[in-house]
Chain A
Amino acid sequence: MKILKNIFFLAIASTLIFSQCKEPASLNALVVTDQSSESGNDIKAILENTGLFDTEIENGASPDFAGYDVVVLNIEKGSWDDDTKEAFSSYVKNGGGVVVLSNTGEAFSGWADYQKIVGLTSDNTTGKSKEAYTYKVANVNTSHPITKGLNTSWLHNDDYMLYSAGSTTGDVEVLSTAVADSIQGGNGKSLPVLFTVKFGEGRVFHSTLGNNSSNSMKCVGFITTLQRGAEWAATGVVSQEVPLDFPTFVSTHTWPDFKPLTLDEIFKKASTYEIGKSRKYLADISERIRNSDGKPDTYAMYESKILEFLHSEATVDSKKYLCKELSWIGSDASVNALSKLVNDKDLSEAASYALQRLRL
């Protein structure tokens, strides 16, 4: 088989094996929160999983902003003294990066600079949807570094939608909107949910997402935009790649540990698939194969995992699905394995389909 020969040839010839080499973290981030320690830790985990940030958490009333590249605010009710407020204004004015999360935009009242920094007018309408629900976010600005390359429309997982961003100040640049559904008490209009603000030399990224503790914060859309927004606020550019499983307009995606699952974790989750249940983990496998470097040894690695899967206790439906991937990435090993399955009561049809392509 020509492809099999290629596998050996390329395995020898290729000296570079793909690995995720990360630069040591070089940006300093401060998370200021008055929420549970859990949510502060979650934000820290999200930032540090990029490999870009060293992160500290501050719960006190007078945080010190000096020396940080980005300050992430997650505050429900602000209680800073005047000196802290003054220090924060000058931090931003002098080029400090800020991320404003969830309902932090409403945390202080009667503080003019704060309104400008978070990009909301002082007469902002407050309130949120009646329930947490999954809603569609539309990236109306696709050329900004934060949203560039993301699916233009995606489902945000199980969150309250905030209506406060209905009255932004003039200088915000809106990145993404969502419709304030009237069934949920909204006004039926598209409101900003992600936007940026310029204050002095400082860059501010404002995300009104993440109001339903872990459910909404595990959304890959929330995580990705927070990670990209924090890097942009700190540096003005975004170096992170778009994750393969960024949500689409028909499907949500969550990362239970705020980071992409390992391949073995994905195969494990995929192994319980039955038609009617979520097939997103199988789709993830397809997506990873599709986005791989396409080298024979890479396909051979996926092939061996799938062949192992076919002989595991995984469900028939999940095995059938993965036979389709074997039908184009497989080698002689797949031909041998599938030939033994053509009389299998569950997999004969799927095996025969795959063999028709492999024996082409």
Chain B
Amino acid sequence: MNDNRRKFIKKAVGSALGVIAAPYIIPGSALGKNGAIAPSNRIVMGGIGLGGMGSGNTRNFLEKKEVQYVAICDVDRTHRSKASSMVNGRYKNNDCRTYDDYREFLEKEKLDAVTIALPDHWHAIISVAAANKGLDIYGEKPLARSIMEARAMVNAVEKNKVIWQTGSWQRSRPNFHRGAELAINGRIGKISHVDVGLPNGNAPIGTPPIMKVPDGVDWDMWLGPSPTVPYRGVLHFHWRWMLDYSGGQLTDWAGHHIDIAHWGLGYDRTGPVSVEGKGVYPREGIYDVPVEYDFTCTYKSGVTLRVANSSKQKRGMGTVWHGDKGWIYVSRGETLEASDPKILEEKIGEEETHLYKSDDHWQNFLDCVKTRKETITPAETALRSISVALIGEIAMLTGKKLDWDPEKERFTNNDYANRLLRKPYKAPWKLDLNA
């Protein structure tokens, strides 16, 4: 642990340029000019998981002058080599260290912060380990593959007082912010219902033959706590169509449009009290996530939230809040619409609710690393967003209407369903549930 640096960063909060003198030695090239920040004063970062999202996040952080990326970790040699080239290209050196085992990475590297972008079945174990090392974490959504994992992660983040930002970047986009702020301030009256449309399922691929694991890939480590299976060509990205690793589009996108729905309702710290719905599960091939899903949650307030694949929703993808005076719709592509365009012109008064404002999701994380303030999507918020999808998934898998206690995070009318709150692990992998 780089305690000195952490303390230093905490102290340096607010100093305009962050430029300091002794005891740090500042290379001339990095001094003050053009607003550059001395390497010794930068946030030292590394990345675990350098696939699609991981390399995107790394790219975004490399653009930040206050960041010094020093190491990356991935079970795929191709990812390691691409990512380290990107880092080294940025700093014009060959200093980026590479690891294939996150345990060695966490043990050897002295970091301030880490980005984690992995298949969902690895999120909890590695995030808890990183938090226990005292690292601030930019972690990809969805938070976890099970409710119990998600709670363990939030506990670890809070116990270690580390900063957590979830990759729910829609909160840092103006249309989502504005739509949610109008909704929470009653501009469409009392909200009674929210529709959330997420992507449709993925096309099936049958059962590909067993293949040779690509050179440089540690397949056993990739599987980690999940069941031992032979390699069939499904590695990066497409793991999300298999229940052992993901809940499909439903859980993949919960951290976006469900997250936004909660924001506009002011439900970042609570959850539904009941859930009921239906999923259609494929009967052939290795992909087994629901190809159709449609469930409705009810909150204590009486508000209902329907989550369904976009072809079942009138407006398709996105979030629609319905109030007694109209509706507001937000989605990707800067979409912001309302039942009456005048709603969108409304000013939010000083005394009203002003939602957390960020216009750069990655910068928000770095700012919070420095200020030690909460990010725009802290771990508890991410837990509440993914919980909707996870209890919806359990309602569909059991085929039952379930009552949920959002405080105790247990079903109150069905002990069978409670068993599905846990994702079992293969030995020796364990998750300290009281981390």
A binds B: yes
Per the bound structure, the CA–CA distance linking A353 and B397 in Å amounts to: 17
A352 interfacial contact with B, CB 8 Å: yes
Say yes or no: A354 contacts B398, CB within 8 Å: no
A174 interfacial contact with B, CB 8 Å: no
Q: How far is the CB of B413 from chain A (nearest CB, A)?
A: 10
Q: Which of A253, A292, A320, A358 contacts B419 (CB 8 A)?
A: A358
Chain B residues with CB under 8 Å of A275's CB are: 207, 286
Say yes or no: A328 contacts B416, CB within 8 Å: yes
Say yes or no: A250 contacts B291, CB within 8 Å: yes
Per the bound structure, the CA–CA distance linking A4 and B415 in Å amounts to: 11
Per the bound structure, the CA–CA distance linking A278 and B207 in Å amounts to: 9
Per the bound structure, the CA–CA distance linking A291 and B311 in Å amounts to: 24
Say yes or no: A294 contacts B400, CB within 8 Å: yes
Which one, B179-187, B372-380, B424-432, is touching chain A?
B424-432
A249 interfacial contact with B, CB 8 Å: yes
Q: Which of A245, A280, A286, A349 contacts B284 (CB 8 A)?
A: A280
Say yes or no: A353 contacts B227, CB within 8 Å: yes
How many of B's residues come within 8 Å of A, CB to CB?
34
Chain A residues with CB under 8 Å of B418's CB are: 360
Chain A 109-153 near chain B by CB (<8 Å), digits 1 or 0: 000000000000000000000000000000000000000000110
Per the bound structure, the CA–CA distance linking A250 and B207 in Å amounts to: 13
Say yes or no: B416 contacts A356, CB within 8 Å: no
Chain B residues with CB under 8 Å of A327's CB are: 419, 424
Say yes or no: A294 contacts B415, CB within 8 Å: no
A87 interfacial contact with B, CB 8 Å: no
Say yes or no: A278 contacts B284, CB within 8 Å: yes
Say yes or no: B284 contacts A279, CB within 8 Å: yes
Say yes or no: A250 contacts B285, CB within 8 Å: yes
B242 interfacial contact with A, CB 8 Å: no
A24 interfacial contact with B, CB 8 Å: no
Q: Which of B207, B227, B424 contacts A276 (CB 8 A)?
A: B207
Asked, given contacts A151-B292, A248-B282, A248-B291, whether A352 binds B427 with beta carbons under 8 Å apart, the answer is: yes
B48 interfacial contact with A, CB 8 Å: no
A268 interfacial contact with B, CB 8 Å: no
Asked, given contacts A250-B291, A290-B397, whether A328 binds B420 with beta carbons under 8 Å apart, the answer is: yes
Question: Nearest residue in B to A2 (C-beta to C-beta)?
Answer: B415
Question: Nearest residue in A to B311 (C-beta to C-beta)?
Answer: A152
Which residues 284-336 of A sit at the B interface, judged by CB distance below 8 A? 284, 286-287, 289-292, 294, 299, 320, 327-329
B399 interfacial contact with A, CB 8 Å: yes
Question: Nearest residue in A to B225 (C-beta to C-beta)?
Answer: A353
- Please indicate which of the listed interface residues A250, A279, A360 has the most CB atoms of chain B within 10 Å of its own CB: A250
Question: Nearest residue in A to B396 (C-beta to C-beta)?
Answer: A290
Q: How far is the CB of A206 from chain B (nearest CB, A)?
A: 26
B280 interfacial contact with A, CB 8 Å: yes
Per the bound structure, the CA–CA distance linking A248 and B281 in Å amounts to: 8
Chain B residues with CB under 8 Å of A358's CB are: 419
Say yes or no: A299 contacts B399, CB within 8 Å: no
B283 interfacial contact with A, CB 8 Å: yes
Chain B residues with CB under 8 Å of A151's CB are: 280, 292
Chain B residues with CB under 8 Å of A283's CB are: 281-283
- Please indicate which of the listed interface residues A2, A245, A248 has the most CB atoms of chain B within 10 Å of its own CB: A248
Asked, given contacts A2-B415, A276-B207, whether A251 binds B420 with beta carbons under 8 Å apart, the answer is: no
Q: Which of A3, A276, A349 contacts B426 (CB 8 A)?
A: A349
B56 interfacial contact with A, CB 8 Å: no
Per the bound structure, the CA–CA distance linking A248 and B279 in Å amounts to: 11
Say yes or no: A354 contacts B424, CB within 8 Å: yes
Say yes or no: B282 contacts A328, CB within 8 Å: no
Asked, given contacts A3-B415, A290-B399, A328-B398, whether A357 binds B281 with beta carbons under 8 Å apart, the answer is: no
B422 interfacial contact with A, CB 8 Å: yes
Q: Which of B291, B416, B417, B419 contacts A249 (CB 8 A)?
A: B291
Per the bound structure, the CA–CA distance linking A357 and B281 in Å amounts to: 22
Chain B residues with CB under 8 Å of A75's CB are: none
Say yes or no: B228 contacts A349, CB within 8 Å: yes
Per the bound structure, the CA–CA distance linking A245 and B209 in Å amounts to: 27
B214 interfacial contact with A, CB 8 Å: no
B35 interfacial contact with A, CB 8 Å: no
Chain A residues with CB under 8 Å of B207's CB are: 275-276
Chain A residues with CB under 8 Å of B204's CB are: 250-251
Which residues 334-360 of A sit at the B interface, judged by CB distance below 8 A? 349-350, 352-354, 356-358, 360
Q: How far is the CB of B211 from chain A (nearest CB, A)?
A: 13
Q: How far is the CB of A347 from chain B (nearest CB, A)?
A: 12
Say yes or no: A328 contacts B417, CB within 8 Å: yes
Chain B residues with CB under 8 Å of A279's CB are: 283-284
Question: Nearest residue in A to B420 (C-beta to C-beta)?
Answer: A328
- Identify 14 new A-B residue pairs, CB closer than 8 A, beyond the known A151-B280, A275-B207, A283-B282: A6-B415, A245-B283, A248-B281, A250-B201, A276-B207, A286-B281, A287-B281, A294-B416, A328-B416, A352-B424, A352-B426, A354-B424, A356-B422, A357-B424
Query: What are 11 A-B interface contacts by the 8 Å CB criterion?
Result: A248-B280, A248-B291, A250-B285, A251-B204, A251-B284, A290-B399, A327-B424, A328-B417, A328-B419, A356-B424, A357-B419
Residues of A within 8 A of B (CB): 2-3, 6, 151-152, 245, 248-251, 253, 275-276, 278-280, 283-284, 286-287, 289-292, 294, 299, 320, 327-329, 349-350, 352-354, 356-358, 360
**Which 9 pairs across A and B sit closest by C-beta, in order of nearness?**
A290-B399, A356-B424, A280-B283, A353-B424, A251-B283, A283-B283, A357-B419, A276-B207, A250-B204
